[in-house]
A and B are shown apart, each in its own frame.
Chain A
């Protein structure tokens, strides 16, 4: 089944932000917005739900901390205890200050890397993936808003988009399986 969408192109992020607010105020559904750089506050203006990436970052950090503790406990206390600087390694707690840098680093390492990987997976990005953006100019200096035309009056919608400052408006018949 083919669905009808409208592509409206803007050349300024402030104009785009105002346009998003107006389009949403008229109860049209914005499918997606393609921008050359992250636009501050755009997610809020589009009404996207709050990201849960921060929660995953916290959990990954906890995993990293746990890994560091278990690893140092095995390496330095259980497997091969040594007497370093008059501090025999018989107890994790007594030698803990020496392990804090490792605990900190692995917390950060796990949180950062796993968060990036999660972000890629969540946004369906992986190596050799074909680009999804419908217009190459969105990688340079244009902003593209994709509005669901659905059962709406296309002429009314395009004139609204024109009023919001779009420099180019295209009506696209989109196949469900074209990406």
Chain B
């Protein structure tokens, strides 16, 4: 049995408190009026020194042009972007940690559906990570409900004023409306949580009464059913929760793209937590071949993610249709560093670091690659959400970092507390012996 050390508990609680305080500051710091935005920008330009003057001159020219059109439209735009920013960073962090747990849930179900022999020694780690789906899902659901009913301005389709002047969104409003959005979110999350509940229950029952593998067979059936449900709902979830930030734009492989991202993040998290537990002297039955296999998945799914990223990018880049290509133009013009930095972190780095077979068994190599992959996929979500919500007014500031700390603290607290609830070895699993003796 695993016991949660006081240090880890304290660490996660400190993360949550610091994150919460930072978020409150982030929300309180939002500019309340156009005057404040002007002040902030003037102060910012002054800090910039000589370089800033040119910018200021340029923006003067712009504002003169806009004055003719009716005053402070430009500053009002920036005001709305900055007011959105803490909400968007809260949303990104909430979604990112939720998607890790969801990716692990899918990976767990695949192990059962495929009757995998190598992985049963890792099942309890996976079950513990999916425990985060409950609190993480509730928080995300509340944020989604607030956004869907236009308490904040994250989704432009939720703003009746915008929709009234927008033919394209009007045409999509049968799908993109607050009520439908919430009902769908409830169905998606309800289904995932239901599977999680029964999968964990069956796994524990199998430990108690392994004769005849009655519970194992139930796990198999429910896993296969869940995977069918999952791949449909995950795809729709990606349209609703991510793609609808840019309601004019669409990509037909977006569901797969988000899936690759959450899958690789989930697998990476399994590897990181397994290595952590092993370093603390638990999981003595996990050998370096298991770590090797997890690292192979990290490597492979990183390549798969790149394949989907490129498939989406190249077709849109090549055809150059204005309504499609605008998505990448905003990202390349305003988000150059995160956009290309993410490619380096999610593709080139894991490709080079994890290519060598021997490196996949060196724990610190896997940890290092894993941390970079997780940061890279956070930035991936950031790139999907921020351009549509805060536009060019982005920077990684106090609210982004605090939101990540808050959810990281919650994630660690929930996951490691869930680990204490059951023995670390799923001893009733029929493939356990094969898994223990797994060697590459």
Q: Is B320 an interface residue (CB 8 A)?
A: yes
Complex CA gap A28/B146 in Å reads 75
Within the complex, the shortest CB–CB distance from A61 to chain B, in Å, comes to: 10
User: Which listed residue (B314, B355, B357) contacts A98, Cβ 8 A?
Assistant: B314
Q: Is A58 an interface residue (CB 8 A)?
A: yes
Contact, CB under 8 Å: A85 / B355:
no
Within the complex, the shortest CB–CB distance from A76 to chain B, in Å, comes to: 14
Residues in A whose Cβ lies below 8 Å from that of B439: 41
User: Which listed residue (B314, B355, B357) contacts A97, Cβ 8 A?
Assistant: B314
Q: Is A100 an interface residue (CB 8 A)?
A: yes
Complex CA gap A101/B314 in Å reads 10
Contact, CB under 8 Å: A100 / B355:
no
Known A-B contacts A41-B439, A58-B355; A98 and B318 likewise in contact (beta carbons under 8 Å):
yes
The residues in B between 247 and 275 inclusive whose CB is less than 8 angstroms from any CB of A are none
Known A-B contacts A54-B357, A58-B355; A86 and B317 likewise in contact (beta carbons under 8 Å):
no
Interface class of chain B by DSSP: helix
User: Which listed residue (A54, A87, A97, A101) contacts B313, Cβ 8 A?
Assistant: A97
Complex CA gap A40/B320 in Å reads 50
* CB closest residue in chain B, given A41: B439
User: Which listed residue (A41, A54, A58, A97) contacts B317, Cβ 8 A?
Assistant: A97
User: Which listed residue (B310, B319, B356, B357) contacts A100, Cβ 8 A?
Assistant: B310
* CB closest residue in chain B, given A101: B314
Complex CA gap A101/B313 in Å reads 13
Known A-B contacts A41-B439, A54-B357; A85 and B318 likewise in contact (beta carbons under 8 Å):
yes
Chain A interface, number of residues (Cβ within 8 angstroms): 10
Contact, CB under 8 Å: B314 / A100:
yes
* CB closest residue in chain A, given B356: A54
Complex CA gap A87/B439 in Å reads 51
Complex CA gap A85/B357 in Å reads 42
Within the complex, the shortest CB–CB distance from A90 to chain B, in Å, comes to: 16
Residues in B whose Cβ lies below 8 Å from that of A85: 318-320
Complex CA gap A58/B351 in Å reads 12
* CB closest residue in chain B, given A54: B357
- Chain B 296-333 interface mask (CB, 8 Å, partner A; 1/0): 00000000000000100110011110000000000000
Within the complex, the shortest CB–CB distance from B254 to chain A, in Å, comes to: 19
Complex CA gap A85/B318 in Å reads 7
Residues in B whose Cβ lies below 8 Å from that of A58: 355
Residues in B whose Cβ lies below 8 Å from that of A87: 318, 320
Complex CA gap A101/B439 in Å reads 35
Residues in A whose Cβ lies below 8 Å from that of B319: 85
Within the complex, the shortest CB–CB distance from B191 to chain A, in Å, comes to: 37
Residues in A whose Cβ lies below 8 Å from that of B357: 54
Residues in A whose Cβ lies below 8 Å from that of B356: 54
Complex CA gap A79/B357 in Å reads 41
Within the complex, the shortest CB–CB distance from B270 to chain A, in Å, comes to: 25
Complex CA gap A116/B79 in Å reads 62
User: Which listed residue (B310, B313, B320, B355) contacts A86, Cβ 8 A?
Assistant: B320
Complex CA gap A98/B310 in Å reads 11
Within the complex, the shortest CB–CB distance from B129 to chain A, in Å, comes to: 31
What are the 6 tightest A-B residue pairs by CB atom distance, in nearest-first order?
Answer: A97-B314, A97-B317, A86-B320, A85-B318, A85-B320, A100-B310
A-B contact pairs, 12 of them (CB 8 A): A41-B439, A54-B356, A54-B357, A58-B355, A85-B318, A85-B319, A86-B320, A97-B310, A97-B317, A98-B314, A98-B318, A100-B310
User: A residues bordering B, Cβ < 8 Å?
Assistant: 41, 54, 58, 85-87, 97-98, 100-101
User: Apart from A87-B318, A87-B320, A98-B314, what are 9 other A-B pairs with CB-CB below 8 Å?
Assistant: A41-B439, A54-B357, A85-B319, A85-B320, A97-B310, A97-B313, A97-B314, A97-B317, A98-B318
